[in-house]
Amino acid sequence: MSTVNRAVVLAAGRGTRMRELTESMPKPMVVVRGKPVLQVIVEGLRQSGIKELLIIVGYRKEVVRDHFRDGADFGIQICYAEQIIQDGTGRVVSLAQPFCGDDPFLLSYGDILVDPAYYPRLCDLKDAEMSIAVRRSTEIFKGGAVYLNDRFELIDLREKSKPSEATTPWYNAGIYVFRASIFDYVARLEKSPRGEYELTDAIRAMSLGGKRVQAVEITGDWADVRDPEVLAELNENFESGT
């Protein structure tokens, strides 16, 4: 099993879909089930054996820093890097290079909740260049459509496909484990039609370039805390004990 001791969490965005909930805090600090989303992620990473964490901050960065500080209260070593320009999830990954060096690392978006038992499975890279978490979904058009071969390896990745275009049941679940080679791919990124540097474009280039990208299916608890409706559903289920 590959040894992965470091993780990176992207927590720089405001999350405009959260509306007034993020006027005074970044989206990853919105409270779900009694804790900030980001704290749930941090505790899950620590539980799965991650020892060092880099949090990429930006909007209302002081809220994140004041809550987590150096991580001592959470049993994990935490440091920070700031995304100055909000230009997508691609180039921001390069901010992790000084932290990760040549070592593999887990990367999660700061609004993705998952059963921590899946983190070690993703970290077991074997001979793959990276791993990507996927889920079955009937709403592929809401995010990344993941195309896999019969060995459960990535062969293509398409963002925001139209409902009629997505011909796969697999949805990008927003958690990855990378080797240091990802930094070369993000350095070569060009802006997407949305005007952003997309991390998924770098992953797609890696796969199309012949690198092995292993998929790991998430069948347990998972949530993309993307809007007030999802947040309300999570909190309602928690309060009702379901």
* pLDDT over 80 at 163, yes or no: no
* Of the candidate ranges 59-63, 132-136, 230-234, the one whose mean pLDDT is the lowest: 230-234
* pLDDT over 90 at 65, yes or no: yes
CB atoms within 10 A of CB 165: 11
Return phi, psi of residue 154, to 5°: -70, 130
Residue 242's pLDDT band (cuts 50, 70, 90): very low
Give 187's contacts (C-beta < 8 A, 6+ positions apart).
94
Strands 170-178, 105-109: pairing is antiparallel
Question: pLDDT value at position 52?
Answer: 98
Would you say 178 and 161 are in contact if contact means Cβ atoms under 8 Å apart? no
6-240: CATH topology: Spore Coat Polysaccharide Biosynthesis Protein SpsA; Chain A (3.90.550)
Distance separating alpha carbons of residues 73 and 169, to the nearest angstrom: 40
* pLDDT over 90 at 74, yes or no: yes
Average predicted confidence (pLDDT) for the chain: 90
CB atoms within 10 A of CB 75: 11
Geometric angle at alpha carbon 71, from 46 and 48, rounded to 5°: 5
* pLDDT over 50 at 203, yes or no: yes
Indicate the domain borders of the chain.
Answer: 6-240
Question: pLDDT value at position 136?
Answer: 94
What residues pair up with 109 in beta bridges, in sequence order?
Answer: 10
CB atoms within 10 A of CB 135: 20
Estimate the share of the chain in helix, then strand, then coil, as percent rounded to the nearest 5. 35, 30, 40
Residue 33 DSSP code? T
Question: pLDDT value at position 217?
Answer: 97
**The whole model's pTM is what?**
0.93
Strands 52-57, 130-136: pairing is unpaired
Question: pLDDT value at position 229?
Answer: 86
Report which of 106, 105, 103, 99 is spatially closest to residue 81, judged by C-alpha positions. Answer: 99
